Amino acid sequence: MTSTARRLAAALFLAIVSVASAADAPPDVAVMVARLDLAAGKVSDVRNITPGKGNNFQPAFTPDSAAVVYTSGRSGSNNIFRYDLAKGMTTAVTATAENLYSPTPLADGSGFSAIRVITADPAYGIEMNEPSLWLFSWDGKPVAPVVATKRIGYHAWINPDLLAAFIVDDVPQRNEHRAVLIQRTNGQQTLLTTKPGRSLGRTADGKRATFVDQTDPKRWVITTMGIGDAKPQVLVETPPLPEGDKETNRSQYFVWLPDGSMLMARGHLLLRWDGKPGGGFKPFADLPELSGAIRNIAASADGQRLAFSVLLTPPKP
């Protein structure tokens, strides 16, 4: 991976990893898949589908649950790769000198959306001049911008005409990012929060966005909101940070499961909320064999598999 791509991977969208100092080499990030048995409360058959060094992150399942797509810097810039679960084969979907992030397969199977960076903002690595969220076909070719909105750092589809987006501030010193709903038909935006986390999702009915609201620095909450709602509805608090742990290790990535429950992670521990009001996250599966900390999490539509990016712990000298 080139030094430019490393800087982009570290800086873009507040970074997936945290680097101790400018002199340190970026830690490796792997994408792993596992089998999920909700009834038994079990996660098994964990496999690293990106062996070797480098940054591999932001996994997402295709709608048929047959493959995982993810971002990888193995080609010198960040491109999109696809792993076929049945065949155990990896193929490059894109091959560009640009940097692509957050591949999200479309519900109709026709392609995927992704963040596209051609001319990078030196502060955040976000695209400076053009709309940043694009539609791509499965041959890896860009088709058209999803919306005309610029500086989208993360996104989630709520339905074909509505998406949630994390908008990166254009003034680094101010650092005021925001999460919004964007209607594709007219470009109208609805503010969700001015203190968003990096993870975005949707409710099962396809009407509301789900997001982490970090307005209270001591009490992060997962909330939901749709077009026409007067204000966000708090669903559950994120798992607390263990005493003495670093703030950078705080949980902010979540994924909904088909049964209406939700997973988050703390280190190599997966935690589950049953989706019922008044409850909270409880330990679900501990995976010390990961040799690192879970970041992004994805679940297959059939509820049988998980994929997650793992910030690998460097081996001791």
Residue-wise pLDDT for 163-185, tens only, equals 999 999 999 888 899 999 999 99
Instruction: Output DSSP code: residue 239.
Output: P
β-strand partners of 168: none
- pLDDT tens-digit readout, 51-97: 888 999 999 999 999 999 999 998 789 999 999 999 999 999 999 99
Is the pLDDT at 245 greater than 90, yes or no? no
- DSSP of 290-306: G-EEEEEEEE-TTSSEE
Amino acid at 185: T
Q: C-alpha distances in angstroms, 178 versus 155, 167, 171, 172, 245?
A: 12, 5, 13, 13, 27
Q: Taking the CB of residue 120, how many other CB atoms lie within 10 A of it?
A: 18
Q: 71 with 57: CB under 8 angstroms?
A: yes
Name the residue ranges covered by the structural domains of the chain.
3-19+26-312
Instruction: Output DSSP code: residue 117.
Output: E
Count of residues for the chain? 317
- pLDDT tens-digit readout, 263-301: 999 999 999 999 999 999 999 999 999 999 999 999 999
CA–CA dist 228, 224 (Å, integer) = 12
Structure tokens at 150: 């610029």
Give Rg (Cα) of the chain.
18
CA–CA dist 264, 285 (Å, integer) = 11
Across the range 308-317, mean pLDDT stands at 84
Q: Output the pLDDT for position 26.
A: 62
Give the CATH H-level superfamily of domain 3-19+26-312.
Answer: TolB, C-terminal domain (2.120.10.30)
Is the pLDDT at 119 greater than 70, yes or no? yes
Is the pLDDT at 12 greater than 60, yes or no? no
Q: The pTM is what?
A: 0.90
